[in-house]
Structure formats: structure tokens, C-alpha cells
Amino acid sequence: MKTRILIAGLMAATALGGTSAMAETLRLLTWGSYAPEELIRKFEERHPDIEVEVTFSNNEEMIAKLRATGGAGFDLAQPSHDRIYAAQLEYDIYKPLDLSMVDTEAMSPVHLEAVKANATIDGQIYGVPHQWGTTGLMADVTKAPDVKGWDDLCDPAYKGKTSMRLKRTILLATAFAMGEDPFATYADPEKYQELLDRVGEKLIECKGNIKAYWNGGDDLSAMMLSGEIVAAETWDSTAYKLYDQNHDIVFIPPETGALTWIDTFVIPRKGQADDAAYKWINFVLEPENITVMSASTGAIAAVNGGTDLLPEDKKAAVQAAFTQADIDNLKFFANIPPGIEDMEGKTLEKIKAATE
């Protein structure tokens, strides 16, 4: 519909001897559920000269895509806050943000400052916060009432009844469960490798407890709802959605602290629609749009009063999951130095090979 209108407008302008610009495309590289159709339609109605084109991805793929093109192909991307600093130093794939173009007053100061701390290079800021959440534990409390920490996923009492995701998060979680702070060893690759070796051994030993390793929220949800598993590593957003269907399934912040991420907005270095990108950022910061976005993502907006703007069902789930002590104990992901992810990847490959 929009394309036909634009063509008709162009033809009319040409007949009158004038000119008309074609619609600008905002190419958004983001997570699944971070661009609800309802919000895209509303944005395009407000800005009829902009069309939104969405590519769903994840942290690793976002960086790989932008690295392959030198920061071209997309106008706005949403890596997590710990995936900006090293990627920019190594690959030069982002451009500094003009914060005068962003409604930073609407943002939660805690989350804005956390992102600034992770995404500032030579005095220039490369990211601002959008949504935040945690990775922790989920359990059916009627079947696994004692789950409190990461190592409970390996408790023989739940053999064959737990699940985890074979990604770097479970390496970090297991390190914390072993009494280590993995972020504190990032600066010493040799020490970090020694820690990864011990973590890998621990997770290989745990393989008998694992019903299946989950890849996405859908397969994890199916296992929990069917009763195939009674506890798992999870994104809090997945647990919140299941809580709405079964109040016995709750999110549990681990005793060592839930691992906390902030998904951001960054502008790729060769993006071609900066003005449209800033318009989208400010658009999704509007309170009525935040509620729609959080209903889609299951995460909390990094704005003032973000929890209050959650849909009612998710607000109840968050209140059931977190005490103030849990919030005070959050573990924010640290910037990932160059080479660390390669080390983690090799450890994950060893674990996978040993469990097949």
C-alpha cells in the first residue's frame, strides 16, 4: 500500500515538473520480538516517509554481520551492553551517538550510566540502553522446591530433569557457583583459561542431569510445561511468560546473583539513516509503546518506572521473582576483552563433544 502511494506521488510530482524523494528505509538489526508489528505500523503511520525493515539476530550474529561489511547493511542494531567496546576496538563497526538526538531524560539513570561505562571509547559514547533483563533459574516449585543456585541443576535429585543452554552464560554461571568471579579474571587470559578448564569439567560431569540443552525460549517452554524438566537455566522473560500459564513455574534469582544484561541501541558505522534511527529510539521510549514492547519481549524497559510500565501479567511475575536483595545482588555482564569469546567457544565445543 505504501509503495503504491509513493509511486503515485512521484508520478504526480514529475508531471508538475517537481521532485519527490522515495521513502527512506530504516534497516533494523535486532532480537526476535524486539520489533512488534503493532509498533512498526504505528511508527510508519507517524513517519510515512520511513519504512522499517527488520532482520532478527543475536549478539554473535549481529557482530559477525557488521564485521563482514565494515558496519554496512544496517542503520540501527541492538547488541547487549557488553558487546560494544571490544567489537568497536577490534572491528570499527559502530559510530558515536549524538545524545542530543536521544531522549535520555526518559532513561533510567542506573542503566544509562551502566551502558555509558561499557560503551565509551576516547570520550565518545557508542550505545544507549533499551531493555534489560537477567539470566537465572526457573523451577516448578512443586517438583523442585530446593532449587536456589546454579549448581542445583546438577543435583542428582533432579537427574534427567534439568536443562541449560550451551552458550557462554552457563560458563559464567557455573564459575560463580564454584565461588569464582569470572569477570575479575578477564584481564588475565591464562588464569581465565584455567578457570574455563575447571568449569568445562564440571559441566561435562553434569551431563547426566540434563534432559536436553535448549536453544530458544520455545523449546525450553515446551519442556517445562510438559513436565519433562523441573528446573532450568532461563532468561527471566521466558519464566515470566510461563508464570502467567502456571504459577508453580517461577523465576529464581541464583544465590550468587542473576546475570544481568542490557540490550542497547547502536548505530552501525556505515548506516545510512541516522535520523530515522534516532526517531525509532525515541519512539520506543514513549510510555504507551514501552508497554507494547515489553509485552512482546518479556523484558523491562530501561526507563524511569520501567517495571510499572510492564503489562499486568508480567508485572506480577517480576514481583513474584525478585526481592530488593536480589536486585541489589545483580551481576552485570562485563565488557568482553578481545580473544575471550574464542576461548569460551572452544570450551563449549569440548562440552558439546563430550555430551553427544
User: What string of DSSP letters covers 286-340?
Assistant: SHHHHHHHHHHH-SEESBTTTTTTS-HHHHHHHHHH--HHHHHT-EEPPP--TTH
- C-alpha cell read off for 67: 564485521
SS3 77: strand
Are the C-beta atoms of 267 and 169 separated by less than 8 Å? Answer: no
**What is the C-alpha to C-alpha distance for residues 53 and 217, in angstroms, rounded to an integer?**
24
Q: For residue range 56-108, list pLDDT tens digits in order.
A: 999 999 999 999 999 999 999 999 999 999 999 999 999 999 999 999 999 99
Q: Kindly indicate whether the domain formed by 133-260+331-355 is annotated with CATH number 3.20.20.150.
A: no
Q: For residue range 247-272, list pLDDT tens digits in order.
A: 999 999 999 999 999 999 999 999 99
Helix (H) or strand (E) holding 189: helix 189-205
**% pLDDT > 70, the chain:** 94
Q: For residue range 109-119, list pLDDT tens digits in order.
A: 989 999 999 99
SS3 180: coil
Q: Kindly indicate whether the domain formed by 2-132+261-321 is annotated with CATH number 3.40.190.10.
A: yes
Residue 187 vs residues 94, 182, 229, 261, 340: alpha-carbon distances, Å = 24, 10, 37, 20, 9
Tell me the pLDDT band of 336, cut-offs 50, 70 and 90. confident
Strand pairing class (120-121; 124-125): antiparallel
Domain with CATH 3.40.190.10 in the chain: 2-132+261-321, 133-260+331-355
Give residue for cell 510499572: 308
Tell me the pLDDT band of 313, cut-offs 50, 70 and 90. confident
Q: Is the pLDDT of residue 22 over 90?
A: no
Q: For residue range 136-166, list pLDDT tens digits in order.
A: 999 999 999 999 999 999 999 999 999 999 9
The pLDDT assigned to 23 comes to 83
Sheet containing strand 50-57, edge to edge, reads 50-57, 24-31, 76-77
Are the C-beta atoms of 294 and 309 separated by less than 8 Å? Answer: yes
The pLDDT assigned to 17 comes to 40
Q: Is the pLDDT of residue 8 over 70?
A: no
Tell me the pLDDT band of 21, cut-offs 50, 70 and 90. low
The pLDDT assigned to 1 comes to 35
Indicate the average pLDDT of the chain.
92
